[in-house]
Chains A and B, each alone.
Chain A
């Protein structure tokens, strides 16, 4: 299987190696065409965003106004904070120039002369690696004003890294823009959408790092080639991040539509001790979890996972074996969303805290069956009632985990059986960590 985003070429992060393998040929080809042609090809390729929502990339680009007096911007989202997702750092480390080339083509297609690559602040090593690649691209005339000579075009663009500072919410596109503007990462009410009113009130497009890295091969090899890989409605490959209870956790680039069981057993090496699977979260912690007995025949693409009752998200697959304590897992997930709620919307700010408190109560052995219904009720009142999707992200794990594993949660709330949750969870309370 051909790898598109992370080709099996040693030292591809060296500019000489990248150039000798056709590097920047796609950009040259792009500059011989009109921006409308480029957008059309990306539309026809069927490329969908790899950051979670799986929206059609070419369609998103087409929302940018062609005629405007304002500057246009491109933001590339490398905030990567969804638990279970760890794919973008592979691109920063192993294939940074394809990302840069994708940024150049995207800037040309949408008419942006400034691009901000937003990378999570904790990724010190990968920020340095990416900055080194950007510096090299400037030196070689692939970025900046010298692009005019290098590519024999009137167009040029600049690329800057903006370093995040430890806020998950900044992965949300409008919060990301606020963060670049030097503000708190508060999501903005939409509409207006970024293409109408984005960075500093100007037209802006925001794409995920993996999405943009797919662009050069699409332009070079043609949209027909790309559209035939994987599932027709969600073509291409995905960087599947597999973690948790598997023998070989890691990132696997494979076509969309691969069987989830194939990914877990054949690529990620199966479950340690040949244990059964109790639960799988297929796309990062915000996606609805699946029971072990729901996995047969489930394929990893947006449409198939929707049918299976979940979503592709960032394709960050978390596997839990039969001995996993799901109350402990759900408490940890809920604590995360409570901690990361930006606090703007009352249902999210208060609701995530309530869910955490109720789960703590259950973990302490003081829960009743009513608490499970109360949790679902709180989740339902958060879902769909917030400015951004963090509310849904916090609500879905609670709602679906309890619905799909009701039997297990019922065990924890029977008053006559005091379940002692391992004291590790209690340590969360004893660490003097502020809840928000």
Chain B
């Protein structure tokens, strides 16, 4: 199935291109726009970006496979990122990781069968003073306890 940018997103890409002297430099913002529209970066998405920016596909693939925030597979409606780096680890991040993993029954980078949740163990999220923390989609949840995490998960589980 081919992928095409919406008219609105084509305008966003054009705005991004104006920030840089080369089209290649717009590849990172364009990938974000594509990911927001499609959910992840498929081969079809790469084809379309190459067409729109007028750059080689390999240049896009090179970027997609280097940066961890671009998904090459679909993620859940709620993508939960758990920071387990030192400051979070010292304050119980792995207990939170275990709780989420057990409750959802999935491993790292897996998606629940209903497509609602995915989890990812991530490196430092720059929230060390508010540890432990998780991020769900674009939102940070900080100073967490197991009870708070349970509460957050339950509210998402009940949210259709």
Q: Is the CB of B98 within 8 A of A424?
A: yes
- Nearest-CB residue, chain A, relative to B87: A243
What does the 1/0 interface line of A65-93 toward B look like (CB < 8 Å)?
00000000000000011111110110000
- Judging by beta carbons under 8 Å apart, are A83 and B129 in contact? no
Contacts of A251 in B (CB 8 A): 129
Complex Cα distance, B86 from A316, in Å, reads 12
Taking the complex as formed, is B149 at the interface, i.e. its CB lies under 8 A from any CB of chain A? no
Contact A182 B126 (CB under 8 A): no
Given contacts A85-B128, A125-B138, A241-B129, contact A182 B24 (CB under 8 A): yes
A130 adjacent to chain B (CB < 8 Å): no
Q: Is there a chain A Cβ closer than 8 Å to B145's Cβ?
A: no
Interface residue total, chain A, C-beta cutoff 8 A: 61
Which residues A185-205 have CB closer than 8 A to chain B?
A: 185, 200
Given known A162-B28, A432-B107, contact A184–B87 (CB-CB < 8 A): no
Let me know if A324 is at the binding interface, CB within 8 A: yes
Question: Which of A185, A243, A281 neighbours the largest number of chain B CB atoms within 10 Å of its CB?
Answer: A243
Q: Tell me if B27 is interfacial: C-beta within 8 Å of chain A.
A: yes
Given A249-B130, A332-B89, also A182-B63 (CB < 8 A): yes
Whether B128 pairs with A427 at a CB distance below 8 angstroms is no
A431 in contact (CB, < 8 A): yes
Among the stretches B4-12, B67-75, B152-160, the one at the interface with A is B67-75
Residues of B within 8 A of A124 (CB): 138-139
Quote the shortest CB–CB distance from A309 to chain B (angstroms): 20
Identify A200's interface contact among B21, B68, B129, B140, CB under 8 A.
Answer: B21
Smallest CB separation, B128 vs chain A (Å): 4
Q: Say if the beta carbon of A292 comes within 8 Å of chain B.
A: no
Is A243 in contact with B131, judged by CB distance below 8 angstroms? Answer: yes
| Chain A window 372-390, contacts with chain B (Cβ cutoff 8 Å), 1 for yes, 0 for no | 0000000000000000000
Per-position 1/0 for A145-186, Cβ under 8 A of B: 000000000000000101111111000000000011111110
Q: Are A427 and B126 in contact (CB under 8 A)?
A: no
Contact with A along B1-36 (1 / 0, CB 8 A): 000000000000000000111101111110110000
Name the residue on B nearest A285 (C-beta).
B86
Minimum CB–CB distance from B110 to chain A (whole Å) comes to 8
Q: Does B127 contact A (CB under 8 A)?
A: yes
Residue-by-residue, is A296-340 near B (CB-CB < 8 Å gives 1, otherwise 0)?
A: 000000000000000000001010100010001100110010011
A interface residue numbers (CB < 8 A to B) = 80-86, 88-89, 120-125, 160, 162-168, 179-185, 200, 241-245, 249-251, 281, 285, 316, 318, 320, 324, 328-329, 332-333, 336, 339-340, 342, 422, 424, 427-428, 430-433
Can you list 24 A-B contacts with CB-CB less than 8 angstroms, sorted by A residue number?
Answer: A82-B124, A83-B124, A85-B128, A86-B127, A86-B128, A86-B129, A125-B140, A162-B19, A165-B67, A165-B68, A166-B67, A167-B66, A181-B22, A183-B24, A184-B63, A184-B66, A281-B86, A285-B86, A332-B84, A336-B85, A424-B94, A424-B97, A432-B108, A433-B121
